[in-house]
Structure 1
Amino acid sequence: MAYVYNRTEVIQSLRWKVGAVLPLEVQQKVNYSEEEYFKNHSAALESYMSQMEVDLTVDMVPPKDPYIKVRVLDDIGDVFLSDQSPNLARHSIHFLKRTDAELFISQGLMEELPS
């Protein structure tokens, strides 16, 4: 019983660490039931975050400032963000909401600069 409980905790923590899709190397190490459990847990978490209109996966510790300074590493172009529509050209520097920039940072398209 303890083994099953431990596995479920590991699978739940993977959602916070790797996102909604299991990496191939992890998929090869889980069985079908565990993979289904991950998908269902992920769907439940997404549903909750959608209903509450909050992204719990952005920061585990609340930031001191909701805005960060970022440098664009690859040309992204014109995008619509929550409070502005900047042209995110390569090597440009912007002061964006952390929640808007996190996705681009995680994809390697931006880097956070020290303030």
Structure 2
Amino acid sequence: MAYVYNRAEIVRELAWNVGLLHELPHEIQEKFNETEEQYFKDHSKSLKLYMSQMNLDVNVDMVPPKDPYIKVRVLEDLGSGIILSDKTANFARHSMHFLKRTDAEQYISRLTAASISL
């Protein structure tokens, strides 16, 4: 029972860290048995449903930030017309922006998930 409980803890932690926004990388997914894979999907689905009903992203800022804004330096040209919560921005290469943390998190999580799946 301790082994099964430990595996369930790992699956829940992965759902919080990786799976809420994206699918798990294949290297991790192939180590799950069928029951663990179904548990991961059900747990992620429940969290997503809860967040959509409450209009809340519980996966952002697990530790409260000191400042609601973050300084962002753009490494690659992302172009103009990117819509943020209160304005549009031009993310040209090497530009610096002072953004709301919630706006920046969307792009950071996408980039993080892309680098994890490599």
Per the normalisation by structure 1, the TM-score is 0.85
% identical equivalent positions: 63
**Aligned position for 2:32:** 30
Match of 2:104, as an amino acid? A
Q: Distance in 2 between matches of 1:33 and 1:108?
A: 30
Aligned amino acid, residue 39 of structure 1: K
Q: How far 1:105 moved relative to its partner?
A: 2.3
Q: For the aligned residues, what is the CA RMSD?
A: 1.6
Structure 2: gaps spanning 5 or more residues = 113-118
State the shift of 1:2 in Å.
2.1
- Mapped pair 1:88 → 2:104: no
More helix as a share of residues? 2
The TM-score, its normalising length taken from structure 2, stands at: 0.83
Q: Hey, what's the Cα distance between the residues in 2 that align with 1:106 and 1:86?
A: 18
Q: Which of residues 105, 113, 118 is equivalent to 1:102?
A: 105
Q: Deviation of residue 52 (structure 1)? A: 1.2
Residue correspondences, number: 109
Detail structure 1 runs of 4+ shifted over 4 Å in the superposition: none
Structure 1 unaligned runs (5+)? 110-115
